[in-house]
């Protein structure tokens, strides 16, 4: 389901929101005509009892953000599988190979990950954003459970060296200082 919605589209959105709520995910929809609303292709398949999400990946490369998207990602897929395809394509498309080296799905020489993936926590002030760290070895459904999603999830991928700039939603504020 893409784009603006009429009466039948509204029913489909309500059904999608209900299906997601059963899985512990609160989906919020933007007003008709908004760019994110038009781009959303997330849908629930009743026959297979499965949600297929549009997923956006925002790679933070220095001061630049490179956005990539997938349509129809099964909630049952392991996130690292989807991620690996993006890194491969990003490496092929980018002339500055060292800038994307931190995003390769292999750990550094000490066994530490070279990147961190975050989902934004909604209902926080714009000047005090909070972020959930995402375990890439879990399913998309597990990653989204207990979260609020605006239309579809956007995963922010940052080098591990820049992760401290993202205030963690799962860490008490006093523990971050």
Written as six digits, the tokens of 147 are 């979260």
Strand boundaries in the chain, DSSP class E? 26-28, 43-45, 50-61, 64-74, 115-121, 130-133, 148-150, 154-159
CB-facing half-sphere around the CA of 113: CA atoms within 13 A: 17
Helix, strand, coil percent values for the chain (each to nearest 5): 35, 30, 35
Name the nearest CA neighbour of 170 among 114, 119, 123.
Answer: 119
Domain ranges of the chain: 54-176
For residues 88 and 93, what is the distance between their CA atoms, to the nearest angstrom? 9
Written as six digits, the tokens of 67 are 């956005």
What are the residue ranges of helices labelled H in 94-148?
A: 97-100, 140-144
Please tell me the predicted confidence (pLDDT) of residue 97: 64
For residues 158 and 119, what is the distance between their CA atoms, to the nearest angstrom? 11
115: buried, middle or exposed (CB in 10 Å: 19+, 13-18, 0-12)? buried
For residues 116 and 17, what is the distance between their CA atoms, to the nearest angstrom? 28
Report the SS3 class of residue 168. Answer: strand
**pLDDT by residue, tens only, the chain of 177 residues:** 444 455 557 788 899 999 999 999 999 999 988 999 999 999 999 899 999 999 999 999 888 888 999 999 999 999 999 998 888 888 888 766 667 777 877 766 677 788 999 999 988 888 889 999 999 999 999 999 999 999 999 999 999 889 999 988 876 655 444
**Nearest 5°: CA angle at 131, between 129 and 136?**
160
54-176 carries CATH number 3.40.50.11290: no
For residues 87 and 80, what is the distance between their CA atoms, to the nearest angstrom? 10
Please tell me the predicted confidence (pLDDT) of residue 3: 47
């Amino acid at each position: 389901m893409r784009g603006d919605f009429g009466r039948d589209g509204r029913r489909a959105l309500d059904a999608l929101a209900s299906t997601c709520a059963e899985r512990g995910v609160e989906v919020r929809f933007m007003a008709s005509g908004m760019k994110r609303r038009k781009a959303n292709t997330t849908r629930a398949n009743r026959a297979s009892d499965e949600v297929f999400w549009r997923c956006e990946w925002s790679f933070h490369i220095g001061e630049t953000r490179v956005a990539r998207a997938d349509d129809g990602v099964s909630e049952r897929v392991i996130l690292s599988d989807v991620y690996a395809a993006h890194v491969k394509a990003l490496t092929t498309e980018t002339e500055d190979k060292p800038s994307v080296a931190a995003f390769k799905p292999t750990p550094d020489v000490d066994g530490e990950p070279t990147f961190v993936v975050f989902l934004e926590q909604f209902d926080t002030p714009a000047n005090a954003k909070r972020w959930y760290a995402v375990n890439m070895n879990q399913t998309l459904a597990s990653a989204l459970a207990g979260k609020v999603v605006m239309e579809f999830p956007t995963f922010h991928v940052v080098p591990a060296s820049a992760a401290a700039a993202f205030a963690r939603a799962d860490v008490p504020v006093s523990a971050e200082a």
